[in-house]
Amino acid sequence: SLAGSYQAYQAIFQRYGIISGSDSDHMIDVAAGFAYFSGCLPLGHRVGILTPSGGAGAWLADQCEAQGLSVPELDRSTRDQIDVKLPAYGTSRNPVDVTAQVIFELGYAPVLEIMAASPEIDAILVAGSLAHPTYVERDLEALMRLGQAIKKPVVFCAYTRAHPRAVELLAQAGFPCLENMSNAARAIKAMADYQTFLEEFDPADDKPPARTQTLATLDPDIPIYTEHAAKEMLSQLKIPCPPGRLVTSAEEAAAAAAAFNKPVALKVQSAQIPHKSEVGGVALNLVGTDQVASGYEAMMNQTSIRAPTAKIDGIRVEPMAPPGTELIVGIHRDPDFGLLLSIGSGGVLVEVVNDLVTTPLPVNPRQAHRLLNQLHCRPLLGGVRGRAPADIDALVELLVRISDFALANALALDTLDLNPVIVHDCGLGVTVSDALIGTRSSDPSSSMT
């Protein structure tokens, strides 16, 4: 299947802003962030780091980067204000290493206040020892004032075991104190992601499209739609599939190829052969009637040997599609959440590269764009190393139409696999190169009710 249960849960969580926890400590630390800052979530993923230890600052910066946060250099005005408070061996670049000397003499508050005003950061992580409450006690009045004034999340993180009194005093000032640097970064990331979710979420997105009579209605009594049958149905929805002919003799194959007048592909059609290439059931770039006819005979011979019990409907002849970026698009039915749409790196890479993202239906254009932006292969679609950008608009339209088709056939559909979908250069559209549809009657455990 395209996605297992974990991917299904992740898809639902992401769609509805649910945060998953890896363990109890992670969940508690993230919850602490929301408990303190639910009213002033970070407006982006840029983090400022304040620390008296250069090593701790670098460590925390690495954790931020690992969680998808950025640690940008602070603006010149902010740095100038900080620099006058630092010894020569401190740095205001970000992480801001104020050195232990500044903490001893001034405390955390003065530099923290300056950093909070910077337009270059959305949240602040403060890494310190906190093994003794002395410096927090001395700084408490200023920290309490800042806790009321700062409109950005500020999370303290102890790189030693924090003294309970230090944790208590920071809480009074309005700042959580964590003891796990990774969780501190993850808490900021979770809050920033949730803010993005709140800005983008529209309950109307879950409203199914207006139900119109569809020309593409699945027959629930047909367990498997072969590639030919699936493409004939999808073409009714103006989903771009190559024209093709189903033939049952070498002569018919040659005639079909001659009519297309370009290199063709031959693909065996059988509900019992979902993976055609594994039984010699695919031949590509055949040119001329003689090559096509001999290719037909060879294919029928190979499939009869490798799949002797399979019922062969015939061989589909279709023109070769132009080159492009290969993706997989599919629908599968999750037992808990129903129909889900997935997209990822396609062709032979689907089983090799873990690049697949999933979302519940329906999918509108905005959600389709968001889904594509999560793919590891997304830069390929934008054009790299001299390649032209791909036709993203056509791909988005395909995802929306597949979503609409799935919802219109929700009672009957079990799986739909389009692999590969070839995304051509911008303006040239997409091509569904292979397709397979399974109805719920193909799954003995499913019920049509």
pLDDT of residue 441: 85
Q: Match 């969680």 to its residue by tokens.
A: 67
pLDDT of residue 100: 93
Between the CA of residue 73 and those of 1, 92, 100, 175, what are the distances in Å? 45, 9, 21, 24
Mean pLDDT by 10 residues, the chain (449 residues): 72 93 94 96 97 94 96 97 95 96 93 97 95 91 95 95 95 96 97 95 82 75 96 93 96 97 96 92 96 97 95 97 94 94 80 84 94 90 85 96 95 95 95 96 56
Q: Match 């993180």 to its residue by tokens.
A: 157
- Three-class secondary structure of residue 315 per DSSP: strand
CA distance 420 to 412: 23
Structural domains in the chain? 1-15+202-241+322-449 (3.30.470.20), 17-200 (3.40.50.261), 243-319 (3.30.1490.20)
CA distance 363 to 404: 8
Instruction: Mention every residue, 6+ apart, whose C-beta is less than 8 A from residue 63.
Output: 181, 182, 184, 185
Helices 24-37/181-200 angle, 10° precision: 60
pLDDT of residue 447: 47
DSSP 208: P
CA distance 327 to 432: 10
pLDDT of residue 203: 87
Residue 133: both structure tokens together: 């409450």
pLDDT of residue 13: 93
Q: Match 């397979």 to its residue by tokens.
A: 436
- Three-class secondary structure of residue 186 per DSSP: helix
**What is the 3 state secondary structure string of 124-180?**
EEEEECCCCCHHHHHHHHHHHHHHHHCCCCEEEEECCCCCHHHHHHHHHHCCCEECC
pLDDT of residue 218: 94
pLDDT of residue 232: 95
pLDDT of residue 244: 96
* Single pTM value for the model: 0.83
